[in-house]
Amino acid sequence: MKNDWSRSFYRQIAVNICYSVLIACLVDVFLIMNMNFLLAYLDQTRYANLLILQIFKMRTITTILYVIIGIGIFALAFFMIEKKNMKYIGKIAMAIQNISEGDLNTQIEVVGDNEFSAMASNLNRMEADIRKLMDKERESERTKNELITNVAHDLRTPLTSIIGYLELLSSGPALTPEMQKKYIDIAYVKAKRLEKLIEDLFGFTKMNYGKISMNVGKVDIVKLLGQLLEEFYPSFADRDLTYELKSNVPSQVISADGNLLARLFDNLINNAIKYGAEGKKVLVQVLAKDDIVTVSVTNYGYVIPAEELPLIFNKFYRVEQSRSSKTGGTGLGLAIAKNIVDMHGGTISVGSDLNGTVFTVKLKVDFDVNKENFGMIQ
């Protein structure tokens, strides 16, 4: 595209130069013919001995004069032809200056279909992208206090329970061995939940605040999903669930961070197992088309209310607190999944009805980690 614009620009300049040369030549020919007629007429009159007439009769001087006039006409014609483009370039330059001074509401009217209109369109898009980045930074700053508040609450709840059961255990021999074992088991479960929460929180903060580096390589996503499903076999069996992997291609290699992708789909499959036990099946599908790979994870259990779907990827958000507490959810798994997808320049969405709950991930086949990505996948 860049080379096409360059060729188009040079071609337009060449055409304008040719037009200007043609105009200059026509005007010069017109002047020369009329000047010759005028000189021939004056030479036969009483003005024949005028100094200026004698000067014009000198070929060298007249040639230089005609060249100067031709250059002047060429410059004037070229300026008039390029005047519109020069005015448009001036608007673009002014917009760039406004943006550099911090005015991100500047918009350039896109006129025509040439390299200058393409430049204006790209500048408008760049300005919108910068505005998105700034909004993202403001949102990041705004949510830090919210994150701290939620963390304090979520850490305090299991910690309070652990302390309470340990105090009961330390009360002495008044407790029977059965009660002691029961309290120890409960405290252990709460401690494991606390450990899980801390791990998820640590992973979330690293991703959300740019503290994690990506190791992008070639990953066979079909093979990766197959391996993850096999690893989850004990969990499927424990909940009396079956699983199925469908793909329109036997293998699909994409550019991605394999470890992060494994964590992404680990969270989605784990989520499907937790809340899909009633449906008795989890379906994972891969659709490779053009330069996009779409992966969907479907469970046929609990239906998420429509009003809660837009909030599902928010950190610490849980669908039905009692269910999440029972299943050991921290409210960070799906937030982490969304962060991983965003880091890969992809999209993630969710839909839920009586036909099942479907989490859909779209990823680019050729992902470039060195470029900013603004969720351009549709």
Indicate whether 245 and 370 sit together in one domain: yes
Q: Is residue 319 part of a domain?
A: yes
Instruction: Of 61, 18, 24, give the one whose Cα is nearest residue 39.
Output: 61
- Residue type at 95 in one-letter notation: A
Instruction: Of 303, 305, 295, give the one whose Cα is nearest residue 279.
Output: 303
pLDDT value of residue 182: 83
Q: Is residue 183 part of a domain?
A: no
Indicate whether 378 and 230 sit together in one domain: yes
At 359, give phi and psi (nearest 5°): -100, 125
User: How many domains does the structure of the chain reveal?
Assistant: 2
Rounded Cα gap, residues 308 and 314, in angstroms: 10
- Domain boundaries, position 255: 215-378
At 290, give phi and psi (nearest 5°): 55, -120
Element (H, E) at 243: strand 242-247
| pTM beyond cutoff 0.85 | no
Q: Is residue 7 part of a domain?
A: yes
Pick from 83, 106, 129: which residue ends a domain? Answer: 106
Do residues 265 and 224 lie in contact, with contact meaning Cβ atoms separated by under 8 Å? Answer: yes
pLDDT value of residue 219: 93
Q: Is residue 197 part of a domain?
A: no
Q: Is residue 135 part of a domain?
A: no
Rounded Cα gap, residues 9 and 5, in angstroms: 6
Q: What is the CA radius of gyration of the chain?
A: 37
Pick from 47, 77, 106: which residue ends a domain? Answer: 106
pLDDT value of residue 358: 94
Indicate whether 357 and 237 sit together in one domain: yes
Indicate whether 359 and 228 sit together in one domain: yes
Q: Is residue 85 part of a domain?
A: yes
pLDDT value of residue 260: 87
Q: Which residues contact 247 (CB under 8 A, 6 or more apart)?
A: 222, 285, 286, 287, 288
At 294, give phi and psi (nearest 5°): -110, 125
pLDDT value of residue 322: 39
CATH number, domain of 259, equals 3.30.565.10
pLDDT value of residue 268: 93
Q: Which residues contact 191 (CB under 8 A, 6 or more apart)?
A: 158, 162
- The β-bridge partners of 353 are 356
Q: What is the dihedral of CA 153, 156, 157, 162, to 10 degrees?
A: 170
pLDDT value of residue 375: 46
Per-residue pLDDT of the chain (378 residues; tens, 9 = 90+): 445 555 665 666 667 677 667 776 777 666 666 666 655 655 566 555 555 555 555 555 566 666 777 777 777 766 776 666 677 777 777 777 777 777 777 777 777 666 667 777 777 888 878 878 777 777 666 656 565 666 666 677 677 878 887 887 777 667 778 888 888 888 887 787 777 777 766 766 666 655 566 788 999 999 999 999 999 888 888 888 999 999 999 999 999 988 889 989 988 998 898 888 777 899 999 999 988 999 999 998 888 888 888 888 877 666 654 344 455 555 677 888 888 898 888 999 999 988 889 999 999 998 876 665 544 565
Q: Is residue 159 part of a domain?
A: no
pLDDT value of residue 8: 61
pLDDT value of residue 321: 41
Q: Is residue 352 part of a domain?
A: yes
Pick from 59, 82, 106: which residue ends a domain? Answer: 106
Q: Which residues contact 26 (CB under 8 A, 6 or more apart)?
A: none
